[in-house]
Amino acid sequence: MKILAPIRAYDELEMLAAAGAEELFCGIVPREWMERYTGAIWLNRRSPKGGSLETYDELKRLVEAAHGLHLPVFTTLNAPYYTAEQLPLVVDLARRLSDEVGVDALIVTDINLLLRLSEEKLAADLHISSVAATLNSEAVRFLLDFGPKRIILPRSLTLEEIARIVREVGDRVEIEVFMLNDGCAFEEGFCATTHHHSVGAFCSSLSEMRAEFEWGGPVLTRRRENWLRRNLADYREWVWYLNGNGCGSTPKGLPYGPCGLCAIPDLLRLGVASLKIVGREASPLKKLASVKMVRDIVDRARAGTPKLQVIDRARALRETPEHCDSGYMCYYQVDGARKTR
C-alpha cells in the first residue's frame, strides 16, 4: 500500500519525498490548450490557475527528479468528457507525456479517451479516475477490457463495498482509494458542476444560500417549519465538514477535512494499492502536513500496531475528538473509530 501525494511544482518534490510520499500525481495545462480554450474549459479536474504545471519542460524536470528518488509520477487527463474537437489534442498530449516526458501513468475518465489510449499502446500505464464512478466490481470488469493498471474508487464507497471489489477483481487491477482532504456532496462522476477558482464549488456554496420554505400540501405549521430548518442545519453542518471543516487546521497545522486515517489498518488488510491525498492546488505546507499525517498512521499499520491503537493515534493527531465524533468527517465508518455524541 503506497501513499500518493499531490504536487504542482518541482520545488515541492524534495519536501514531499522526505515527508514520506511514495507516489505523486499532478496536472498539466500546456500553453496551447490555454490559447485555444482559455481557462473556461478545463483540461483536467482542477482549475488551470494554481492546480497544474504549465510547461512540458517543468514536468519533465519533475519526472526525472522523482524517478531519481524512485517515485512514480501520474498525470491527470480526467475531465469527465472531451469533445470530438478536443479528443485528438488530448491524445497527442497523452502521447507526448508518455513518450517525451516519461510520466508513469495517465489518469483518465472519458471512455472515448480511454479507448483511444488503450489502442495507442503507450509506455505510460492507464489509471481510471474516480470521476468515472466505478461503484462495483461489474463496472471494474467492463473497464478491464481497456487495460488499466489501476482503478481509483469514488469517495462514496464503504469499506464493505471496497472489500468486495478487491476480493472479486483485485487480482487483475490495482485499487486506489481516497485518504485525506477533499469531500464531495454529490457523487463526483454524476456531477455536472465544477470547482471554479473564482466562484468556488456549487455544492459548498449551496449550503450558504438563504432558504425560504413553501409547503405544497397541508398548511406549513410551525412544527413542520422547525423540522425543515433542522434538516437544513444538519445539511449545512455536513457540507461544512466536507469542505474541510471551514478549511482550517489543528493548532499544530495539520489540515482538517474529510479523512480515512482510522481505516488504514483495514485498507492495508484488504490489499488496497494506494491511498490518495487530495489537493494539487493546496499550499506546500498543507501538502507537507497531509503526507506526514498519513505516513505516521501507515507506518504504524505496517508495523502491525493493533487497530484500536492506530485509531487512537489518528484521533490524537486530529486533536479535536468532537470532529471525529460527528461522523461527518469520515470517508469510511470504522468500528472503534466513531463515538456517539
- What are the residue ranges spanned by the domains of the chain? 2-188+249-326
> Which of 203-207, 247-251, 268-272 has the highest mean predicted lDDT (pLDDT)?
268-272
Q: Kindly state the average pLDDT of the residues 142-166.
A: 95
Quick check: 212 pLDDT over 80? no
Burial class of 212 by CB neighbour count within 10 A (0 to 12, 13 to 18, 19+) = exposed
- Amino acid (1-letter code) at residue 183: G
* 2-188+249-326 CATH, one of 3.10.330.10, 3.20.20.70, 3.40.50.720, 3.40.50.300: 3.20.20.70
Is the pLDDT at 10 greater than 60? The verdict is yes
C-alpha to C-alpha distance for 123 and 102, rounded to whole angstroms: 8
Task: Report the pLDDT averaged over residues 228-254.
Answer: 78
Strand ranges (E), the chain = 2-6, 23-27, 73-77, 105-108, 125-128, 150-152, 174-180, 195-196, 200-201, 274-277
Dihedral over alpha carbons 1, 301, 21, 134 (to 10 degrees): 40
> DSSP code of 53?
B
Q: 23 has which bridge partners?
A: 4
DSSP string, 1-31: -EEEEE--SGGGHHHHHHHT--EEEEEB--H
User: Which range among 163-177, 213-227, 259-273 shows the weakest confidence by mean pLDDT?
Assistant: 213-227
Residue appearing with cell numbers 479507448: 115
For the chain, percent of residues with pLDDT exceeding 90: 60
Sign for the CA dihedral angle at 303, 309, 312, 313 comes to negative
For residue 181, the Cα-to-chain-centroid distance in whole angstroms is 8
pLDDT of residue 203: 67
**C-alpha–C-alpha distance, residues 146 and 120, integer Å:** 11
The per-residue pLDDT for range 79-112, each reduced to its tens digit, is 999 999 999 999 999 999 999 999 999 999 999 9
pLDDT at position 199: 55
Burial of 103 (C-beta count, 10 Å sphere; 0-12/13-18/19+): buried
Residue 102, Cβ density class (10 Å: 0-12 exposed, 13-18 middle, ≥19 buried): middle
